[in-house]
Amino acid sequence: MLKFVTVERSMPEKRSATERNKDFHEIYAEYAAEKAKEQSGRCSQCGVPYCQTHCPLHNNIPDWLRLTAEGRVKEAYELSQLTNTFPEICGRICPQDRLCEGNCVIEQSGHGTVTIGQVEKYLTDTAWEEGWVEPITNAEERPESVGIIGAGPGGLAAADMLRRAGVQVTIYDRYDRSGGLMIYGIPGFKLEKDVVMRRNAQLENGGVEFVMNCDVGKDISFEEIREKHDAVLIATGVYKSRDLQGPGSGAGGIVRAIDYLTASNRKSFGDDVPEYESGELNAEGKRVVVIGGGDTAMDCVRTAVRQGATSVKCLYRRDRHNMPGSQREVDNAEEEGVVFEWLSAPKGFVGDPVTAVKVQQMRLGAPDATGRQTPEEIEGADYDEPADLVIKALGFEPEELPTLWGVDELAVTRWGTIKAEFTTGRTAMDGVYAVGDIVRGASLVVWAIRDGRDAAEAILEDLDGGRQAIAAE
């Protein structure tokens, strides 16, 4: 260990921009065993591992890096999956530059962070290849059942833990494939879909029942689900897109990011997607403007490049330093030809269908309550940016679940998220739990996994308490 002084940080080989911008395959190659061993050996094994502290799952990062450096890859994998239901997914899509790697001690000392995410991905991919990933089994089957609404990362993580404990699990989801935004929101160049599908298969083979194409509130009521199960976990995520205001905002050619990305991912599956074929949700041959500065905006600009857009620009009202998206994704997008217009905000649109975005140039003023500088308009500094397709990537908000489901007693916050204990997911309704974005607001996959695992533990604790009460009677 402690090789960070003599061994430089080295990522797996990245496909050239001119090669990768023509397909939706992942852009990084896999580490070879020796390379993974070498890079893991750069870990300083510091006494206070900030990488672990800043990981939402508190993964045992230094320990599995040491095992990898020693060539004990199977043991390293087994340790990594003790705290993470989907290590190979987090290794691919977590913003490590904001979490574990961004807080690596040797990164702070100027030696370049340990490539934690790539080693994590290597460990579980190797485990799948070598047959080390065990099927979901349990010591005994329990009679209690849990209904989970939502087949995203939070719901799937909870289902995994509950089934391993022998609980009967049924997942209800409105879509035709399980995985939530991991399937239809995140593009294949960040997360190839077979990675998610094999986890879905593992859960199904382990006894989890999936009820797909099931829209709660329409196809089945929330109360019916409660009656069928001993506990219910709400893990719907947030899918309601924040909207744009201003003259012309309702024009044709202005689309939501979630619709655009879903159409692209469905096309990758080989589905019939009329909106894609008609050009409505297809960037081919178009001047594309994406509005927003988060990870969803980065997914949109990079997808548009691969669809054959003639130009792709991203408008963000703050500067690069203050954007919420991953800096690594911005670098990848720039390599692929995306142009970023920093300190730029839309103030209106020209034409119907749209032909241009009216852009207002901004400057950063005084900090707001969070400490971020507030964008201010520069008077007289505006222009028209030509556009044939405008994609709104302004973030997501929760749907009005109490209204949609007819459950007035389901308490929500003033933001519309469900009121639930962060450490357990318990709501004020008996036997009802909630996790992930529907509690936190739009957040990261890794946080949803953490919430799902925490809620599963709380559900098991409450079910065991019910067992003990019955036994005492």
In tens, the pLDDT along 104-141 reads 999 888 899 999 999 999 999 999 999 999 999 999 99
Residue 205 three-state SS: helix
Q: How far apart are CA 98 and CA 372, in angstroms?
A: 17
State CA 22 to chain mean position distance: 23
Q: What is the pTM assigned to this prediction? A: 0.95
CATH superfamily membership of 145-238+398-472: FAD/NAD(P)-binding domain (3.50.50.60)
Of residues 235, 248, 113, 255, the one with CA closest to residue 174: 235
Q: How far apart are CA 335 and CA 91, in angstroms?
A: 22
- Tokens 């060539």 appear where? 71
Assess whether the region 3-130 and the region 243-392 belong to the same CATH fold.
no
Q: What is the reported pLDDT for 96?
A: 95
State CA 395 to chain mean position distance: 13
Q: What is the reported pLDDT for 470?
A: 59
User: In the numeric block, which tokens belong to residue 412?
Assistant: 């929500």
User: Other C-beta atoms within 10 Å of 130: how many?
Assistant: 11
Instruction: Return the bridge partners of 345, or none.
Output: 360
| Interval 389-437: pLDDT, tens | 999 999 999 999 999 999 999 999 999 999 999 899 999 999 999 999 9
Q: What is the reported pLDDT for 468?
A: 60
Low-confidence ranges of the chain (pLDDT < 70): 1, 466-473
Q: Is 3.50.50.60 the CATH classification of the domain at 243-392?
A: yes
Where in the chain are the domains?
Answer: 3-130, 145-238+398-472, 243-392
Under CATH, to which class is 3-130 assigned?
A: mainly alpha
Q: How far apart are CA 127 and CA 116, in angstroms?
A: 17
Q: What is the reported pLDDT for 5?
A: 83
Q: Is 274 exposed, middle or buried (0-12, 13-18, 19+ CB in 10 A)?
A: exposed
Contacts of residue 237, Cβ cutoff 8 Å, sequence gap at least 6: 150, 152, 154, 180, 181, 396, 436, 437, 438, 448
